Structure 1
Amino acid sequence: MEDILRPIYQERASQSETLGVLMVEKRQKARPITDLFDIVLLTIVKDAEQPVFVKHYQYNHQKAALFVVTEQQINEWILLGSNRRLIDWLLNGKVLFDRNEYVSQLRTELREFPFQGRKLKMAIEFAKLIRRYMDGKTFYDNNHYLDAFNHVVHSLHHLARLEVIEQGFHPEVTVWNQVRQIGPEIFKLYDELVNSDEPLPKRLELLFLASEFLIHSRTKIGAAHLLDLLKQKEYWTINDLLTHEEVKNYAVDLPVLIEYLIDKHFVEVLQVETKGQGLYHRYYRVVE
């Protein structure tokens, strides 16, 4: 089918905005990688009216998908981890066109995974982890065990992704296969939660007891991005933090993360009087 698609990607490659074109073929045991399509063509462009443009093709019994994605969208997906297939496409796809070694340099950056980029990605995952974990605990305390289970599974997933990132790798679609090797204690927690014969309330109780230490032991590295930012000023209002450019990618989970860090004595509250009697502003600063 590559021969049939050649005119399509050659036309894209001839356009000055195109930075690179990659082809990803379906691997029989990895169908989620290509969304059940036989071939995915990923075209990265400098700029476009739409950040993502998709076309589907069919030839005989084979299907192909063309993605035209802006450089900005690619960078956002890499940062937020919101399109995990992308990492596989970029690292393992066949390069059909590469303007000024753009794809080659992007692959090098992905493999080297600079620590500063990792620190922000870990902050995003850790904030999501705390949100899910705290919500799960609340549901558990109120005997809503199925809702608690749902949130706990998601919290473990974020914990797994955090572990993978901390070790210098990008989480992939098969993140639990990665974690089996990188963080076996996290994989064991997940396996016991999902596969144990214990009643669900008991499984959740054991999970909360075991995961408390794992999460707490990763607080310093998971919250490093936020704690470093807090050190830049004597104190911060919540609005200062929520509107800060570096925090916007995990701002939705920031209030819960702040409260968790207060509880664990990484952050403290500074009370400042208002005009209302007995009413105080809350400001936040790092515990020195």
Structure 2
Amino acid sequence: MEDILRPIYQERASQSNTLGVLLIEKKQKSSHITESFDVILLVIVKDAEQPLFIKHYSYNNQKAAMHVITESQLQEWLLLGTNRRIFEWIHEAKILFDRNENVANLKMELSDFPFNGRKIKMGLEFAKLIRRYVDGKALFESKQFLDAYNYVVHSLHHLARLAVIENGLHPELTVWHQVKQIEPEIFKLYEELVNSEESLEKRLELLFLASEFMIHFRTNIGTAHLLEVLSKKEYWQFNEIMNEEELIPYSVDLAVLIEYLIEKHLLDVVNIETKGQGVYHRCYCVHKKLS
């Protein structure tokens, strides 16, 4: 298949905008990594009108897909984890073309997983974890048990991903397989939620108690990045936090996370007078003992 696709990827490689071309082949009949295709061509470019362009090919009862992605789109996927398969693709890929060792350096960076990169990713996973936990608990307290169950499953998934990142690894599609080896306590929680013969209400009640302990245990590492950024100013209005470049990825989970950190005395509320009598701007600052 590689020989057949050679004219396609050579044409891409000849373009100055192309940083790298990678080949990912299906290893076994049921392999999920190539999304039912026999081959994936991953082309990384510096700039493009579309951040992602996909084209499909067929030859002799086989099929291939070419994914052309911009460098910035790739970095966003790697940071936010919004395309988890990309880690497997880069890890498993054969490098067909690499301009100035861009791809080789990327593979090395993913393998090393520098601490600063881990800290940001842990912050994002922690924010998602808190959002699902808080929303799930509110649903549980209003006796919406099936909806609460859905949120708890998601919160455990983010807890599992957080644990994997904390251990210096990238969460893969088989995150529960990773967690079973690394953090068996979290895996046991998941098993109890899914397989227990207790009533759903009882299972959720026990899970919220156990999750609260595990979240508390990881609060410091999960909030290190956010608090580090917020320590740069005396206090912040919420809109300033939302638009701070380093914190934009937290987006929709930010308001819930901030309220959680106030409750845990990691952030303080600062009221600043407005022109309206008795009305204040609600601002936020890192708790003085932490700053």
The TM-score bracket by the shorter chain reads over 0.9
Return structure 1 stretches of 4+ with deviation > 2 angstroms.
27-32, 271-281
Of stretches 1-10 and 160-169 in structure 1, the one that deviates more from structure 2 is 1-10
Counterpart residue number, 1:31: 31
- CA shift for structure 1 position 30: 6.2
Q: Distance in 1 between the 2:47 and 2:225 partners?
A: 30
Counterpart residue number, 2:199: 199
Counterpart residue number, 1:42: 42
**Where does 1:80-99 land on structure 2 (aligned, <5 Å)?**
80-99=80-99
- CA shift for structure 1 position 59: 1.6
Q: Distance in 2 between the 1:13 and 1:135 partners?
A: 48
**Where does 1:9-24 land on structure 2 (aligned, <5 Å)?**
9-24=9-24
Q: Distance in 1 between the 2:137 and 2:215 partners?
A: 14
- CA shift for structure 1 position 131: 0.5
Q: Distance in 2 between the 1:21 and 1:195 partners?
A: 44
Counterpart residue number, 1:143: 143
Q: Distance in 1 between the 2:216 and 2:120 partners?
A: 18
Instruction: Determine helix, strand or coil for the equivalent of 2:32.
Output: helix
Instruction: Determine helix, strand or coil for the equivalent of 2:120.
Output: helix
Counterpart residue number, 1:79: 79
Cα distance, 1:30–1:70 mapped onto 2, change above 3 Å = farther
Counterpart residue number, 2:276: 276
Instruction: Determine helix, strand or coil for the equivalent of 1:218.
Output: helix
Instruction: Determine helix, strand or coil for the equivalent of 1:31.
Output: coil
- What do the CA deviations read for 1:75-97 (whole angstroms, capped 9, x no partner)? 11101111111111111111111
- What do the CA deviations read for 1:43-64 (whole angstroms, capped 9, x no partner)? 1111111111101111222211
**Where does 1:1-288 land on structure 2 (aligned, <5 Å)?**
1-28=1-28, 31-287=31-287, 288=289
Q: Distance in 2 between the 1:232 and 1:146 partners?
A: 42
- What do the CA deviations read for 1:262-282 (whole angstroms, capped 9, x no partner)? 111111112233343433321
Instruction: Determine helix, strand or coil for the equivalent of 2:164.
Output: helix
User: Is this contact kept in 2: 1:160–1:186, CA < 8 A?
Assistant: yes
Instruction: Determine helix, strand or coil for the equivalent of 1:32.
Output: coil
TM-score (norm 1): 0.96
Q: Distance in 2 between the 1:129 and 1:63 partners?
A: 38
Q: Distance in 1 between the 2:30 and 2:213 partners?
A: 34
Instruction: Determine helix, strand or coil for the equivalent of 1:5.
Output: helix
Q: Distance in 1 between the 2:257 and 2:112 partners?
A: 29
**2:8 partner letter:** I
Q: Give 5+ residue unaligned stretches, structure 2.
A: none
Q: Distance in 2 between the 1:153 and 1:132 partners?
A: 9
User: Is this contact kept in 2: 1:19–1:99, CA < 8 A?
Assistant: yes
Instruction: Determine helix, strand or coil for the equivalent of 1:172.
Output: coil
Instruction: Determine helix, strand or coil for the equivalent of 2:236.
Output: coil
User: Is this contact kept in 2: 1:33–1:173, CA < 8 A?
Assistant: no
Cα distance, 1:275–1:96 mapped onto 2, change above 3 Å = same
Instruction: Determine helix, strand or coil for the equivalent of 2:48.
Output: coil
> CA RMSD for the aligned pairs?
1.3
- CA shift for structure 1 position 2: 2.0
Q: How many residues align?
A: 288
Q: Distance in 1 between the 2:186 and 2:110 partners?
A: 24
- CA shift for structure 1 position 224: 0.7
Q: Give 5+ residue unaligned stretches, structure 1.
A: none
Question: Taking every aligned residue pair, what percent have the same amino acid on both sides?
Answer: 66
